Structure 1
């Protein structure tokens, strides 16, 4: 049960992270598309300006040829702002007019005429240029170019804005995802807390407050309905068991008393009395189980108990019986281990386990008892090298009347481990059946009593 909350937290955080990542990827895609559209529009505007320049120069050339073209370029060169580049040279490479005196080293004339098709870009210094380089009739090189610095500056500003927006999206996604995960985790942990209480035996536990009008509220409603049904069935089963045990125990006692008055058949009378006493013990065990289950999770009647002392006293009683049967015994009991419990019920648990071990073990088998600290709990382990429990029966080992077919001839009713489980649950202890190379082992981890300073 203790791992439920961390698992829920990891799953919810993974979901929130996946959603934030999906939103971030979509945002990146949208920003990339927007960037490309802006870049395309800006470059199209520069190409339009370049085409307009070429159209104007073409009209002048058609009127007065090179002379008009040279005068126009001289006039524009005097008013140039640095965003345009104009250059006209003669066939010998001498500059006739322009904003510069030399031809760019990494640019060569391509084609003839004034068309802006096949405009190319080149870089000079830190500035990019969009240029058209042509050779006019008669071998006159002409260069018309426009600076792309405004385009690059705009795109750089756009990139900075997008990076800032991306950072804001990541922060906002983390905050929103964290809040969403926290909200979902709170709802999940609320249900997990109820499950933990029910697992500890509090079948009457319910979630406080009104149900919300969403999927979690519907889930809580279904869980409550399920718990109500389980509680009613459990109560009906216990009531039936108690009724049967009470109703049959009394007539059996009366029959037992009347048998003592029968004379002349002492052997038959003794057998009948033994059978009846065994039946009465079975009903007593059923009543003990019902009482322990009824008190489960309440904590009432539990007081500080020295588990080490109780274990040592019960072990002393059964150690002699085990040695009489030829068993090898060993006990390792750490002193002064305190729990909150019922001394008689704890002794009954250990008595059942030791009695079963002695009953089913053969001479030379080994029986051990261990009581040691285990973190915030106390580990009690009873193990033997007897025939053990068949693997097929382990899932239902703690159910009432569970017995192996090979043990049908041995006296008993299969209630010992059921009573052990009921008493352990009454104390909030945990039962496990660890794997053993041979025989049977059972571990009980009792909640350790926290000593106040």
Structure 2
């Protein structure tokens, strides 16, 4: 943008100088024509008084008084013998035209390498007459002006580049500060702030607004986390106590079992909420992460669930590249993988296929789990990772709509990218895990 603005300014300046050059050239040409017209008028006045003798004296005087190379005056007789003038004979290539001492039409001549502009006439009685003024002063002035324009243009370009570099460096440096802050926040550090005092300009105001926004987000995030933890902790304990007391009751065993199952399901909801809250709170934090072999872990989980899929009439296949090393918490990564495969088995029917793939993708490992089941309804795709998102068709199946939310929280905890991919049939989710350096 700085270069574009500088280019516009330079082009405008060059346009102004080009216009000035044209005006100067036109002014010099007009001046040259006026001087020549004045010479011709004086010669005409003298000629009208005493004809050729007076004109001869005037031409001789003007020729002797004119500096060499600045003008040419020449008068000849019928036999082309020079009567007066400051040049030897009639110059080659010049043809007399026009009548009398009229200032037009004028012609351009080159005599002895010098450019002239003037008139050539045949006066009454057959006397050739030539009057021309050299264009050297005007051409010299225009050449100097062109050189000056180029010097100014080069100076403008240099100054614009220097000024643009200084301005862009200062601007980009301050933008880089905000980008660095945004990178830290995106990595999960909501407490990140820009160091040093803020300037009293637009960037300072922007930094102040960003800090205020982060303060508000951090406050809300802490409040949400505390609320989720408090609810989960405070309610899980009395529910466990109720389950223990139910074990000591006698009576309708079937009703007691249903109540116990509901209590257990509710406790699992709170456990999942705590896991999600814990993973989100640790988003972007490196402590607790160690190198793990994702390939080995994926193979172990697949071997664990293959018999279960086979018992349900499904096929679980894998395509796992070896040596997939990542930095993570093994239990959390295993929990995310088991959640996805368990969901696939839960929602698919007999005859469906489930596929687990792990391949390299640049600086990440691409893990994908796909099945040929019913998939996610179109109206829920945008909310698939939200808490308690379930399709109406799945009301009769176990679960509470927390599985994908937990998987996303675990992926973000490890700096992975997660995406629900569109497929013609079934379900397909992809997680891109960051590779360990030098792997």
TM-score, normalising length from structure 2?
0.92
1:80-229 map, 5 Å: 81-91=68-78, 93-98=80-85, 99-102=87-90, 105-113=93-101, 116=103, 119-124=106-111, 126-229=113-216
The 10-residue stretch of structure 1 (97-106 or 352-361) with the greater mean CA deviation from structure 2: 97-106
Question: Once the 2 structures are TM-superposed, how far is the Cα of residue 136 of structure 1 from its aligned partner?
Answer: 4.1
2:359 corresponds in structure 1 to 372
1:293 corresponds in structure 2 to 280
- Say if 1:312 and 1:234 are closer, same or farther in 2 by CA, change over 3 A: same
Structure 1 gap ranges (5+): 1-14
1:68 corresponds in structure 2 to 54
- Residue deviations 1:21-50 (CA, integer Å, cap 9, x gap): 211210121111221232233234433432
Residue 281 (1) aligns with residue 268 (2): yes
Is the contact between residue 94 and residue 120 of structure 2 (CA under 8 Å) also seen in structure 1?
no
Structure 2 gap ranges (5+): none
Residue 321 (1) aligns with residue 308 (2): yes
Question: Once the 2 structures are TM-superposed, how far is the Cα of residue 52 of structure 1 from its aligned partner?
Answer: 4.0
2:236 corresponds in structure 1 to 249
Question: Once the 2 structures are TM-superposed, how far is the Cα of residue 73 of structure 1 from its aligned partner?
Answer: 2.1
Counterparts of 1:21 and 1:330, CA distance in 2: 61
Question: Once the 2 structures are TM-superposed, how far is the Cα of residue 267 of structure 1 from its aligned partner?
Answer: 0.8
Counterparts of 1:186 and 1:436, CA distance in 2: 44
Residue 422 of structure 2 aligns to a residue whose secondary structure is coil
Counterparts of 1:167 and 1:220, CA distance in 2: 38
Counterparts of 2:97 and 2:249, CA distance in 1: 136
Question: Once the 2 structures are TM-superposed, how far is the Cα of residue 290 of structure 1 from its aligned partner?
Answer: 0.8
Residue 89 of structure 2 aligns to a residue whose secondary structure is coil
Backbone CA RMSD of aligned residues:
2.3
Structure 2 residue aligned with 1:421, among 403, 408, 414? Answer: 408
- Residue deviations 1:270-325 (CA, integer Å, cap 9, x gap): 11111110100000000111111111122111111121222222222111111111
Question: Once the 2 structures are TM-superposed, how far is the Cα of residue 153 of structure 1 from its aligned partner?
Answer: 2.1
Question: Once the 2 structures are TM-superposed, how far is the Cα of residue 91 of structure 1 from its aligned partner?
Answer: 4.9
Residue 296 of structure 1 aligns to a residue whose secondary structure is coil
Counterparts of 2:255 and 2:280, CA distance in 1: 38
Which runs of structure 1 show a deviation greater than 6 angstroms over 4 or more consecutive aligned residues?
none
- Residue deviations 1:86-111 (CA, integer Å, cap 9, x gap): 12233565543222412653443323
2:43 corresponds in structure 1 to 57
- Residue deviations 1:206-240 (CA, integer Å, cap 9, x gap): 22222222212212221221222222222222222
- Say if 1:25 and 1:261 are closer, same or farther in 2 by CA, change over 3 A: same
Residue 141 of structure 2 aligns to a residue whose secondary structure is helix
Question: Once the 2 structures are TM-superposed, how far is the Cα of residue 262 of structure 1 from its aligned partner?
Answer: 1.9
The 10-residue stretch of structure 1 (58-67 or 367-376) with the greater mean CA deviation from structure 2: 58-67
Residue 424 of structure 2 aligns to a residue whose secondary structure is coil
Is the contact between residue 91 and residue 111 of structure 2 (CA under 8 Å) also seen in structure 1?
no
- Residue deviations 1:304-352 (CA, integer Å, cap 9, x gap): 1121222222222111111111111111222232211111111111111
Counterparts of 1:70 and 1:247, CA distance in 2: 127
1:291-440 map, 5 Å: 291-440=278-427
Residue 381 of structure 1 aligns to a residue whose secondary structure is strand
Question: Once the 2 structures are TM-superposed, how far is the Cα of residue 381 of structure 1 from its aligned partner?
Answer: 1.2
Question: Once the 2 structures are TM-superposed, how far is the Cα of residue 55 of structure 1 from its aligned partner?
Answer: 4.3
Question: Once the 2 structures are TM-superposed, how far is the Cα of residue 436 of structure 1 from its aligned partner?
Answer: 2.1
Aligned residues: 437
Counterparts of 2:438 and 2:121, CA distance in 1: 97
The 10-residue stretch of structure 1 (54-63 or 25-34) with the greater mean CA deviation from structure 2: 54-63
Counterparts of 1:418 and 1:269, CA distance in 2: 31
Residue 42 (1) aligns with residue 1 (2): no
Counterparts of 1:397 and 1:274, CA distance in 2: 26
Question: Once the 2 structures are TM-superposed, how far is the Cα of residue 242 of structure 1 from its aligned partner?
Answer: 1.5
TM-score, normalising length from structure 1?
0.89
Is the contact between residue 109 and residue 141 of structure 1 (CA under 8 Å) also seen in structure 2?
no
Is the contact between residue 290 and residue 328 of structure 2 (CA under 8 Å) also seen in structure 1?
yes
Residue 265 of structure 2 aligns to a residue whose secondary structure is helix
Residue 31 of structure 1 aligns to a residue whose secondary structure is helix
Counterparts of 2:164 and 2:6, CA distance in 1: 7
